[in-house]
A and B are shown apart, each in its own frame.
Chain A
Amino acid sequence: MIDVDSFTSTTVYTIYIASTPDKVWQALTTAEFSRQYFFGFAVEAKLQVGGAFIVRAPDGSLHIDGEVIACDPPRKLTVTWNVTWPGLVEKLGPTLVTYEIEQAGDAVRLTMIEAHDRPLSEDILEGGRQGWPAILSSLKSLLETGKPLTVKTAPPQRMLAALKAMGIGTP
């Protein structure tokens, strides 16, 4: 079992959504929703501690191979968010992602916290810092308007170069 206390948060993203905690929870944990706002990626989670947490790329291949660390629906979910690129977890260690969901008036406050158990360069962290705002902006739009966003972002070049330099397989 992973020691959550040995992780330090590196990226925090907070967004407020006109929705309910249950709907936000559902959007974060089901493929039906995630495919819409997460650019075709499918979240498949067994929602209990120790359960599998995986994300499939649009072509069905495994992109994230993780595990549920903490699960308190619809308030808090912590998972290991391990990208399946060859050598990545061995070199960078596991990535921990926590979602916190709180009622804030008529809105819901969703906080995403990315944490790592060792120091990582700003270049490596660029991946999450570029990705999360696009994913969660699209999730908010989906829940509020019924339509996700079409965000076309360039791949995080600095991160890919840094991974390559460490001998980690990148697409």
Chain B
Amino acid sequence: MSKPEFVYVTYIETTPQQLWEALTDGDFTERYWFGVRLRSDWKMGSSFEMVHGDGSVSDAGKVVEYDPPKRLAYTFVNLSETYRNDIPALATFELEPHGKLVKLTLTHAGFAEGGKMLPAISKGWPAILSSLKSMLETGRPLEIPRTAIKPEG
């Protein structure tokens, strides 16, 4: 049986420091994350928000772990009506040096029973993290249309 969680592993030719910056600096995230800037002061318990170009906030939660450049964890849930039955689930990023590479493991867990966040993030993360890998390895993020990650149904 599959657990109600999403795990994604990717290997990136970069340094843990650069990957850490790419995961936490809004100037970076805006380039590879469908234009989303992450906004937080990254202190334990501080607010965490996904901010769009027009200033609107789509998702919000709290910072749970901040241990550069090894472990980052935050909760978030989408604020729109579609996800009213969902609770903020926990996304944990682990960065491990692996020779000249960094192994990045994302574990996203703690979803509400029957909620809509899990299928949505399961589509979103591979696109976001693929684009992140491209940006760090080639200097160019991917141009993936938002429709590609739309949840079905």
A residues lining the B interface (CB < 8 Å): 10, 13-18, 104-107, 109, 129-130, 133-134, 137-138, 140-141, 144-145, 149-152
The 3 A-B residue pairs whose C-beta atoms are closest, nearest first, are A16-B130, A133-B9, A14-B126
The stretch among B49-57, B72-80, B133-141 that forms the contact with chain A is: B133-141
With known contacts A133-B11, A144-B137, A16–B144 Cβ distance under 8 A: yes
A14-B126, A149-B13, A152-B99 are contacts. A141–B137 as well, Cβ < 8 Å? yes
Query: A-contacting residues of B (Cβ < 8 Å)?
Result: 2, 7-13, 98-101, 126-127, 130-131, 133-134, 137-138, 140, 142-145, 148
Contacts A138-B11, A144-B134 given: A104-B100 contact, CB under 8 Å? no
CA distance A145 to B12 in the complex (A): 12
Query: Given the complex of chains A and B, what is the CA–CA distance between A140 and B98 in angstroms?
Result: 17
If A145-B137, A152-B99 touch, whether A15 touches B143 (CB-CB below 8 Å) is: no
Interface of B is mostly: mixed
Taking A107-B142, A152-B98 as given, write out 7 further A-B residue pairs in contact, using a Cβ cutoff of 8 Å, ordered by the A residue number.
Answer: A15-B126, A104-B127, A105-B148, A107-B143, A133-B9, A134-B9, A149-B13
Q: Given A16-B142, A150-B99, A104–B12 Cβ distance below 8 Å?
A: no
Do residues B131 and A16 form an inter-chain contact, with CB atoms below 8 A? yes
CA distance A112 to B18 in the complex (A): 28
How far apart are A39's CB and chain B's nearest CB, in angstroms?
Answer: 12
A137 and B144 form a contact (CB under 8 A): no
B-side contacts of A104, CB under 8 Å: 127, 144-145, 148
Whether A18 contacts B101 by the Cβ 8 Å rule is no
Considering the chains assembled together, what is the distance between the CA atoms of A98 and B137 in angstroms?
Answer: 27
Query: What residues on A are CB-neighbors of B126 within 8 Å?
Result: 13-16
Which residue of the partner chain, among B100, B101, B133, contacts A140 with CB atoms under 8 Å?
B133
Give A146's nearest chain B residue, CB to CB.
Answer: B138
Q: Are A137 and B138 in contact (CB under 8 A)?
A: no
A130 to B10, CA, bound (A): 10
| CB atoms of A149 and B101 under 8 A apart | yes
A48 to B62 Cα, complex, angstroms: 52
With contacts A104-B148, A140-B133, A150-B100 taken as known, whether A16 is within 8 angstroms of B127 at the C-beta atoms is yes
**B142 contacts A18, C-beta separation under 8 Å:** yes
Are A137 and B140 in contact (CB-based, < 8 A)? Answer: no
- Nearest residue, chain B, Cβ from A12: B122
Residues of B within 8 A of A106 (CB): 142-144
Show 29 residue pairs from A and B whose CB-CB distance is below 8 angstroms, ordered by the A residue. Answer: A10-B2, A13-B126, A14-B126, A104-B127, A104-B145, A105-B143, A105-B144, A105-B148, A106-B143, A107-B143, A107-B144, A129-B7, A129-B9, A133-B9, A133-B10, A134-B11, A137-B10, A137-B12, A138-B11, A140-B130, A141-B133, A141-B137, A144-B134, A144-B138, A145-B13, A149-B13, A150-B99, A151-B11, A151-B101
Which residue of A has the minimal Cβ distance to B127? A16
